[in-house]
Every structure is written in C-alpha cells, then in structure tokens.
Chains A and B, each alone.
Chain A
Amino acid sequence: MHRNGIHRSRLVGTLAVAALMGIAGYAIFFLAPTERTMGEIQRIFYFHVASAWTAFLAFFLVFVANLSYLVRRRPVWDQLAVSAAEVGIAFCTVVLLTGPIWAKPVWGIWWTWDARLTSTFVLWLLYVGYLLLRSLVEDPTRRAVTSAVFGIFAFLDVPIVYMSIRWWRTQHPAPVIAGGEGSGLDPTMWRVLLVCLAALVALLVLLLRQRFRLEQLHSELEDLRLRISANPGNRF
C-alpha cells in the first residue's frame, strides 16, 4: 500500500514535469517573438539561460548541504549534496553544450574565452572533481567530510573565478539581462523565459528526489555490506 502511494506520487510528479516541459517548448516556438538580428537560433536562449540558473541553484544546494553536514553530521545532508551535485552537473552540461550551438551562427565561433563561458567551464570542472573525489574515498564518513570541505572551497571559488576573468580576460559584450544601459529583454521573452525556468526547476526537483532516494538505498546497502564484512560469521 505504502509502496503504491510512492509510485503514484512519483508518476504524478513525472507527468506534471513532462506537461510543464511541453508548455515551455510550445512557448519557445510559438509565443516568443523572433529576435531581430539573430533570428530563430536565438530561441535556444530560453533553455540555455534557464538551465544555467537551475544549475547555479543546484550548486548552491550542494553548498548548503555541505555546510549543514559539517555542522549537523546527519548522512541525509551528504546524500542531498551528492544528488544536487550530480543533477547540477547535468544542467551545467546542457549550458555548456547549448552555448556553442548558439554561438557558432551568431558570433561565427564555437567558443570565446569570455568571463561567463570560462567560469561556467571552471565551475563544471570543480564539481566533476567533487564527484571524482567522492568516488575515490572508501569510508562513508571520511567521504562525506572530505567532500564537504572540498565542496565549500569550490563554491567560494566561483565568484572569485568570475571576477578574475571578467577583469582581466574578457573581450566580449556585456550581459543582456541586467547588464546596465541599453540591455533589456522584450516582456514576452521575459515571460517565456520564466516559464522555461519553472519547467527546469520542476525537473530539477524531480531528478533530485529520484537521485536522493537512490543515494539513500545506496548507503543502506553500503551499511549492510560493512556490517557483513565486520562479522563474517554472521552471514544471512
């Protein structure tokens, strides 16, 4: 009965996210106006920017979970941290892949070493390092502690990387949204962007829940294994 309840709520959640994604897709292709100079390719903007914000949200969650783990020492915080890191990397990968697809026709190049591009790339590398570290530490408590410390160091680095590249390495126009004078977004475009953001954040929550549950099962299994290897005579 309980199992069935979980299955049903998961199914409802999945369907709701699928519907939201459909609405977002419709809004992007049929409601958003075509951009004057870039044309159709600019429609990738909605998923690109919304994925970036969602990825930052996920990495912020990792940071909060890392801090909470060190303070409270409850395994759930570690499980949340690894789940958010993995899902965040997925969104960050979408950003890094959609960016060049957009850049090639518009700028004529796949990549430019601009502040936002480069710092997103460094961010991605840092969190891949976070997962790599986790995969290489055997003991669960040590893994949680070392990766929490590394996660906090990595998160602190993100604004520093961004500033360093912005000050010394940028040769590229200012941001479109909130970039100061002359920047700004058409109101319809704003609305479509917010719909996409809502859809992707919903997807984030869905994936996070799924991944978190998997991680809990995983650590339960790890616990059982450790207990068996601690008393080999006591096999089931």
Chain B
Amino acid sequence: MKELVGSMGIGTATYWILAKELRAELRTRELLHTTLVFVLLVVVLFSFTFEPTREESRRYGPGLLWLALLFAGSLMLQPSFVREQNNDTLSALRLAPIAPFSIFLGKALANFLFLTVAELLLLPIFAALYDVTILPVLGEILVVLALGTAGMVTTGTVFAAIGAQARMRELLLPLLLLPLLVPVLIASVTATASLLAQEPAMDWTAMKFLIGFDVIYLAASALLFEFLLED
C-alpha cells in the first residue's frame, strides 16, 4: 500500500482532480450560470440603495464589487463537496492512491477558475453600470482580484468540506466563511479603492497582506485538510 501512495506525485494528482472538476462543470455549467446571475442581481440591487452617480460610485464601488464577490463565493463553493456526496464519489477519492492535499488543491484550483471566470465577466458590466474607469489599471485590478479570490477559495474549499458533513449546509457555509474573510474584504477593498481613485496607486501593504493571508491559510489547509476526509 505504501508504494501505491507514492505512485502519483502531488502535481499529477492535482491535475487529474482539477481536470475532473472542470469536466463535470463544463457538462452542465450550472455553477457558472447561477453564480453569474447571482452576482449581476446583487450589483443591480446595490444600485437601489444609493444614488450611483460618479463621485459616490468611486467611493462605494470597490466595496460593492467585493461584497458581491464574497457572497457569490460563499454560495458557489458549496457544491464542491456536496456534489461528491450524491453518488458517494468522495469514498472513491478517499480510496485513490493520492495525497489528500492534492484533492484539496485540485478542487481549490477549480473553484479559483470558476470564480475568476465569473469575475472577468462581471468586471466590464460593473464598470459600465457604475461608470468606473478600469481600463488604465486593468492589470493591477486583476492581480488584486486574483489574490483576494485565492484567499476566498483556500478557506472556502476547506469550509465546504466541513459544511458538507453538517445539516443546513447551504446556510452554514456563509455563516462560517464570511466572518473569517473580513481581513480579505478589508484589504481587497482598500487595494481596489486606491486603484480606482483620482490618482491611481498600488497599495503594496494591502497586497502583501493578501499574500500573507493566502500563504497562512494554504499552509493551514495543507496541514489540516486530510482530517476532513476521514470516514
């Protein structure tokens, strides 16, 4: 058994899990569709809570964007493990001769890609609806989005594995995840706001902070994830 466990490297195993997740999602695209509609809905609903004129949108825009993404993330990460339960495929994954961490990595990467696609589709719509100019700082905004999303996805994938074992899991995941993501929300909004300001600037403290958050929780997931796969 020992030799079998070592038979596939973490990289290869992660690749296969990721490929499986993408294939399953591309068959139905249900996750992407629901997330996208949800985010659009939130962005439209926000516009009714204040007067979305140019000055105000510059002040509130980054916050709205990130709140929408945070809510979307806390909903879209849920099926990550619940889907495995329907046909009891999680047992098969558990039995596979691969490192438990590669299951986490593959699923987290897949979730990262799904959320990123939703974000890329949302960004131009958001910019148009709230009259925010993003083109000159597009590259920087994408970096902030990537770092914030990585934080969301790392913790969210672990919590999805936790939530899948509980009752009322649809409600539970946001309740566990959102308070934990307060630092990600603050740092991402700060970084996005300084990019969308009159004189755009990169907030390096916020960027380093986000990287720190991602690294800490990636390490914690590497250490703790395998406990969640026990039967």
| Residues in chain A within 8 A of chain B (CB atoms) | 70, 122, 125-126, 129, 132-133, 136-139, 142, 145-146, 148-150, 152-154, 156-157, 160-161, 163-165, 167-169
Contacts and interface: CB of A to CB of B under 8 A. Distances in A.
B22 interface: no
B180 A146 contact: no
Interface string B177-219: 0011011001100100000000000000110010011001100
Contacts of B41: none
A129 B182 CA distance: 14
A139 B205 CA distance: 43
Contact of A149 (B166, B168, B227): B227
Given A133-B162, A153-B224, A169-B186, 16 more contacts: A70-B224, A136-B166, A138-B167, A142-B165, A154-B180, A156-B216, A157-B180, A157-B183, A160-B212, A161-B182, A161-B183, A164-B186, A164-B187, A168-B186, A168-B187, A168-B190
A137 B167 CA distance: 6
A137 to B, nearest CB: 5
B159 A160 contact: no
A156 B172 CA distance: 20
Contacts of B159: 150, 153
Contacts of B167: 136-138
Which of B162, B172, B217 has the most A CB atoms < 10 Å from its CB? B162
Given A133-B166, A161-B183, A70 B213 contact: no
A122 B180 CA distance: 8
A137 B182 contact: no
Q: Most chain-B CB neighbours within 10 Å: which of A132, A165, A168, A169?
A: A168
Interface in B93-135: none
A167 B190 CA distance: 10
Q: Which of A142, A148, A154, A165 has the most CB of B within 10 A?
A: A142
B176 interface: yes
Contacts of B209: 163-164, 167
A136 B167 CA distance: 5
Given A164-B183, A164-B209, A129 B166 contact: no
B150 interface: no
Most buried by A among B159, B169, B205, B230: B159
Interface of B: 155, 158-159, 162, 165-169, 172, 175-176, 179-180, 182-183, 186-187, 190, 205-206, 209, 212-213, 216-217, 220, 224, 227-228, 230
8 contacts: A133-B162, A136-B172, A145-B230, A146-B165, A149-B228, A153-B158, A157-B180, A164-B187
A146 B182 contact: no
B180 A126 contact: yes
A61 B183 CA distance: 23
Contacts of B175: 129, 132
Contacts of A168: 186-187, 190, 206
A148 B227 CA distance: 10
Contacts of A163: 183, 209
A145 to B, nearest CB: 5
Contacts of B213: 160
A154 B224 CA distance: 13
A156 B230 contact: no
B193 to A, nearest CB: 10
Given A149-B227, A153-B158, A157-B180, A132 B172 contact: yes
Given A150-B176, A168-B186, A137 B166 contact: yes
A59 to B, nearest CB: 14
A149 B162 CA distance: 8
Nearest to B189: A168
B220 A129 contact: no
Contacts of B216: 156, 160
Contacts of B186: 164-165, 168-169
Nearest to A154: B180
A156 B217 contact: yes
Contacts of A132: 172, 175-176
A77 to B, nearest CB: 13
B158, B176, B216 interface centre (most CB from chain A within 10 Å): B176
